[in-house]
């Protein structure tokens, strides 16, 4: 019905109607999405923990969706209310043989705690993991290294709760017990062994330093930071702010090598807690301790606590372990660090109070039951 010239013109000059339609659709979809975000809220909103004065960038942002996800190991945590002792009730130390710790507990609370430790440390192995397959009459024997180690770990746990409340209870009472590290495993995850110097290149400060290791958090930073700073009270410091400093590196001034060692430790701290540098420091003045956050003091106590754990409790057990439990390179004892408890969270088990039902582990003296 249309003139032939019109049909011919359209055939010679085709029009792309899809391009404009797609453009309109994309723009319309973006406007709709923006309207939904304004109306219903940002689905990937973040919350920030303010760690310093506003306007200085001192905050730790986290996605709300991530904050809402609990530590999956919390669901497997076993706890049980204590039995209030009756006057004159017999004590475990009088009933059982060779009870070197926890002897001042009543029989009911002693067995209750032994059952909990089994759930926390060896849910599959059961009592035999520490006591062997013999009869109950043989439970007093120290024939297995696991029992000797467990006894010392109970003492370590009591010491942490008794003397390091400034770290473990910095925000509220949470304490620690065996589950804080073990999470149902015989051997806790995120323990560490000495691996340096495997060779000079891994030891740091060389022309070919780009060797990443697990202890340096997959970076080319020195891998001996945990050995240097978590088994010794060696000062953690960095190179001077000035380009030329009088003095002897490693004696009265910090060397660049020590700076890199410090960076390696700080990187480990951040990954252990799932935070960044401004969780403890003011990013405009890392060198100024007066501008650090309160979390810095908590972390400092944590480092001192870990040093004591390693030097007083874990390293001295080296002769008790079988070869398969020692380090793969130097046959050293397993050691703990921040990640052993924190496992990527600011607070282990996201602040779950793990001594509320276990006053026996909160003190080396006779516990007080509420």
Give residue-wise pLDDT tens across range 134-192.
888 889 999 999 999 999 999 999 999 999 999 999 989 999 999 999 999 999 999 99
Name all domains of the chain by residue range, CATH numbers in brackets: 73-189+348-370 (1.10.468.10), 193-342 (1.10.468.10)
Among 2-6, 46-50, 218-222, 304-308, top mean pLDDT goes to 304-308
Give residue-wise pLDDT tens across range 111-129.
999 999 999 999 999 999 9
CA atoms in the 13 A half-sphere facing the CB of 208: 4
Give residue-wise pLDDT tens across range 231-269.
998 888 887 878 778 888 777 788 888 888 899 999 999
* Residues tagged in the binding site annotation: 114, 127, 130-131, 153, 167, 178, 181-182, 266, 277, 280-281, 338, 341-342
Query: Do the strands 59-63 and 46-50 form a parallel or antiparallel pair, or are they unpaired?
Result: antiparallel
* Residues tagged in the binding site annotation for heme: 114, 127, 130-131, 153, 167, 178, 181-182, 266, 277, 280-281, 338, 341-342
Give residue-wise pLDDT tens across range 62-90.
766 666 678 899 999 999 999 999 988 99
Give residue-wise pLDDT tens across range 82-111.
999 998 899 999 999 999 999 999 999 999
Give residue-wise pLDDT tens across range 25-65.
888 888 888 877 666 666 667 777 777 777 776 777 776 66
Distance CA 298, CA 283 (A): 18
Q: Which residues pair with 253 in a beta bridge?
A: 249
pLDDT band at 278; cut points 50, 70, 90: confident
**Mean of the per-residue pLDDT values for the chain?**
87
């Amino acid at each position: 019905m249309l003139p032939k010239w019109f049909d011919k013109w359209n055939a010679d000059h085709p029009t792309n109607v899809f391009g404009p339609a797609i453009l309109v659709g994309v723009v319309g979809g973006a406007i709709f999405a923006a309207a939904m975000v304004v109306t219903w809220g940002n689905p990937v909103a973040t919350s920030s923990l303010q760690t310093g004065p506003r306007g200085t960038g001192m905050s730790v942002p986290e996605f709300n969706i991530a904050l809402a996800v609990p530590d999956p190991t919390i669901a497997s945590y076993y706890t049980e209310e204590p039995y209030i002792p009756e006057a004159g009730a017999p004590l475990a130390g009088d009933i059982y043989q060779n009870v070197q710790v926890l002897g001042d507990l009543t029989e009911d609370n002693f067995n209750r705690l032994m059952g909990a430790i089994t759930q926390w440390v060896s849910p599959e192995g059961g009592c035999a993991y520490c006591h062997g397959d013999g009869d109950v009459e043989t439970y007093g024997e120290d024939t297995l290294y696991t029992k000797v180690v467990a006894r010392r770990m109970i003492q370590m746990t009591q010491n942490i709760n008794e003397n390091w409340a400034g770290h473990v209870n910095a925000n509220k009472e949470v304490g620690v017990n065996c589950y804080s590290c073990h999470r149902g495993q015989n051997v806790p995850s995120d323990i560490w062994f000495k691996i340096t110097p495997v060779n000079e290149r891994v030891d740091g400060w060389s022309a070919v330093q780009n060797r990443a290791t697990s202890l340096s958090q997959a970076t080319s930073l020195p891998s001996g930071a945990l050995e240097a700073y978590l088994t010794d009270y060696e000062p953690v410091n960095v190179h001077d702010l000035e380009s030329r400093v009088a003095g002897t590196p490693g004696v009265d001034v910090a060397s660049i090598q020590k700076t890199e060692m410090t960076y390696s430790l700080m990187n480990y701290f951040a990954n252990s807690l799932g935070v960044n540098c401004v969780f403890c420091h003011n990013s405009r003045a890392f060198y100024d301790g007066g501008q650090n956050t309160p979390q810095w003091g908590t972390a400092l106590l944590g480092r001192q606590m870990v040093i004591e754990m390693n030097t007083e409790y874990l390293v001295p057990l080296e002769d008790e372990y079988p070869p398969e439990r020692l380090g793969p390179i130097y046959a050293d004892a397993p050691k703990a660090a921040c990640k052993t408890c924190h496992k990527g969270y600011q607070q282990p088990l996201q602040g779950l109070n793990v001594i509320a039902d276990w006053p026996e582990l909160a003190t080396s003296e006779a516990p007080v039951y509420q």
